[in-house]
Copies of this chain bind each other. A is one copy, B any other.
Amino acid sequence: MTRRAAIVGGGVIGGGWLARFLLNGWDVAVFDPDPEAERKLSEVLANARRSLPGLYDAALPPEGHLRFCVSLEEAVAGAQWIQESVPERLELKHRVLTQIQAVMANDAVIGSSTSGFKPSELGAGVPRPGQVLVAHPFNPVYLLPVVEVVPHTSAAEDVITGALQTLRSIGMMPLRLRREMDAHVADRFLEAVWREALWLVKDDIATTQEIDDVIRFGFGIRWAQMGLFETYRIAGGEAGMAHFLAQFGPCLKWPWTRLTDVPDLDAALVEKISAQSDAQSGTRSIRELERIRDDNLVALMRALKGRDWASGHTLCEHDARLRRASAAPDWSQPVETAARSVPVDWTDYNGHMNESRYLELFSSATDRCMELIGCDAAYIEAGGSYFTVETHLQHLGETHAGATVRVTTQLLEGSGKRLHILNRMFDAGGELLATAEHLLIHVSLATRRATPPGAELRQRLAELQSRHAALPRPERLHCGKREESV
């Protein structure tokens, strides 16, 4: 059955909803009186098409059909879900929601993206308040999973259940609040932080950059994986949450923030928090939680390292520092092109380093080899590079997280367009764990076709190849037996 959603009110938020529904196979009809709406929504959709599908390790269903409508009635007719994202003015919301309810299917549900209004406020001005629920998402809506769901008190339980299911079906993580609240939950935190930040900038304690840095190089990384309470539970150690509260509680009396209306941390509140924290994290020991946290942090920071951004940039800088300290390569032997510790997130269900991580390591060794022969960042920037056309991997032993490994590279052939190398990976004791034979072809990055390397590179390659010519070669080579074309 084709599922149909209506998007009422475009902009960045409406566009994000549109993208989520459309890319998950829903037909989507849009109504927004803004003459710029189609352009704005198309920009959001382009961003979503670029980033959302790759999140998954399975293919999304074929995209639904997108239609821009000239009237609200046309957009809403036949939709099972209507998402309202008009500006935050209550009388406008009342008018639009009432118009929608006049034409929508009997069993349709309206989600309102409101960040400020409670369901009781929205419901006060519409005929069927039980069919309007707050579904408050976060920007970018097409990527961030959380959506705060707050139903009206008159909503039927099956309407709520169905709504939660719909939101999950488009990849979201609906969080149903137990009571309505001004600004729901998340924005209250954002508001508290925002107010504090305004004071810090106003009082010249920190700049916007410094405030952003203290967040993204510190507790921001922590909060991508565990929230406030689970993090503090770990800080409290085996003694538990109540112990943490006893230590931390007195700080609440300190005149730290400008924000000073403080709840009384009495026995009842301590007991409540402890009990909730036990229910949340109590099945795991603090030691387990620490390791989960650390593995998450390593994976997150290494992910950012691939982008050379925020804490990932700090890691890149330290890499450069570590590499500067290493010795110049000795070309009388296979040269060392990688040396590292196996990260905790490289392990798979077999309890050892996953095969793709072997190639990740060998690939970085090949990169280093290219750099050493003169195909470095500047050379690549100028438009030449090598593409791998063939690789043969052999596994001789297992490797585990925490192991120190090194890779050496032997030049088998470096002539014409071809670069044929053998990478060998060893453990700390010198035992051979795996080999990788690679055949690369020199290309022009402009034409994406094979082309001879520059004169300087050719000369350096010839020289280095002659130094490796005397080294013993493997009995049997596996690459280069076919004619290559890139």
In the bound complex, residues from chain B placing their C-beta under 8 Å from that of A255 are 182
In the bound assembly, the distance between CA atoms of A187 and B394 in angstroms comes to 51
Q: Knowing A140-B293, A144-B222, A380-B349 touch, does A263 contact B198 (C-beta < 8 A)?
A: yes
Q: Which of A125-133, A312-320, A451-459 binds B?
A: A312-320
In the bound complex, residues from chain B placing their C-beta under 8 Å from that of A103 are none
Report how many residues on chain A are interfacial, defined by Cβ distance under 8 Å.
180
Copies in the complex: 2
Against B, the Cβ 8 Å flags (1 = close, 0 = not) of A188-229 are 111111111111111111111111111111111111111111
Q: Which residue of B lies closest to A476 (CB)?
A: B481
In the bound assembly, the distance between CA atoms of A363 and B197 in angstroms comes to 46
Contact, CB under 8 Å: A402 / B341: no
Q: Knowing A116-B251, A255-B182, A297-B143 touch, does A344 contact B227 (C-beta < 8 A)?
A: no
Contacts A54-B402, A189-B219, A192-B196 known; 19 new A-B pairs at CB < 8 A: A54-B342, A56-B341, A58-B319, A59-B326, A138-B222, A173-B213, A185-B210, A187-B256, A191-B256, A198-B269, A199-B263, A260-B261, A292-B307, A349-B377, A350-B385, A355-B359, A356-B360, A359-B359, A478-B478
Contact, CB under 8 Å: A294 / B51: yes
Majority DSSP secondary structure for residues of A touching B: helix
In the bound assembly, the distance between CA atoms of A263 and B195 in angstroms comes to 7
Minimal beta-carbon separation of A287 from chain B (angstroms): 8
A145 at the B interface (CB under 8 A)? yes
Contact, CB under 8 Å: A318 / B200: no
Contact, CB under 8 Å: B290 / A47: yes
Q: Which of A76-84, A270-278, A413-421 binds B?
A: A270-278
Of the A-B pairs whose beta carbons lie under 8 Å apart in the complex, a sample of 8, sorted by A's number, is A54-B302, A56-B315, A171-B315, A171-B318, A195-B257, A224-B300, A349-B385, A356-B359
A374 at the B interface (CB under 8 A)? no
Contact, CB under 8 Å: B256 / A183: yes
Minimal beta-carbon separation of A18 from chain B (angstroms): 16
Contact, CB under 8 Å: B189 / A224: no
In the bound assembly, the distance between CA atoms of A230 and B197 in angstroms comes to 13
A201 partner, pick from B276, B357, B385, B448, beta carbons under 8 A:
B276
In the bound assembly, the distance between CA atoms of A485 and B64 in angstroms comes to 51
In the bound complex, residues from chain B placing their C-beta under 8 Å from that of A307 are 225, 292, 295-296, 299, 345
Contact, CB under 8 Å: B55 / A298: yes
A34 at the B interface (CB under 8 A)? no
Contact, CB under 8 Å: B140 / A297: yes
A303 partner, pick from B212, B292, B300, B401, beta carbons under 8 A:
B300
Contact, CB under 8 Å: A201 / B252: no
Contact, CB under 8 Å: B272 / A201: yes
In the bound assembly, the distance between CA atoms of A351 and B387 in angstroms comes to 11
Contact, CB under 8 Å: B224 / A304: yes
In the bound assembly, the distance between CA atoms of A272 and B358 in angstroms comes to 50
Minimal beta-carbon separation of A148 from chain B (angstroms): 7
Contact, CB under 8 Å: B304 / A225: yes
Contact, CB under 8 Å: B311 / A145: yes
Contact, CB under 8 Å: A178 / B205: yes
In the bound assembly, the distance between CA atoms of A217 and B178 in angstroms comes to 18
In the bound assembly, the distance between CA atoms of A55 and B341 in angstroms comes to 8
Against B, the Cβ 8 Å flags (1 = close, 0 = not) of A104-147 are 00000000000010000000000000000000001110011110
Within 8 A of B (CB), among A412-435: none
Contact, CB under 8 Å: A216 / B227: yes
In the bound assembly, the distance between CA atoms of A29 and B212 in angstroms comes to 35
Contact, CB under 8 Å: A392 / B201: no
A227 partner, pick from B175, B188, B215, beta carbons under 8 A:
B215
Q: Knowing A276-B209, A385-B350 touch, does A188 contact B177 (C-beta < 8 A)?
A: no
4 tightest A-B contacts by CB? A212-B227, A54-B343, A220-B223, A259-B259
A404 at the B interface (CB under 8 A)? yes
In the bound complex, residues from chain B placing their C-beta under 8 Å from that of A211 are 185, 227-229
Minimal beta-carbon separation of A282 from chain B (angstroms): 11
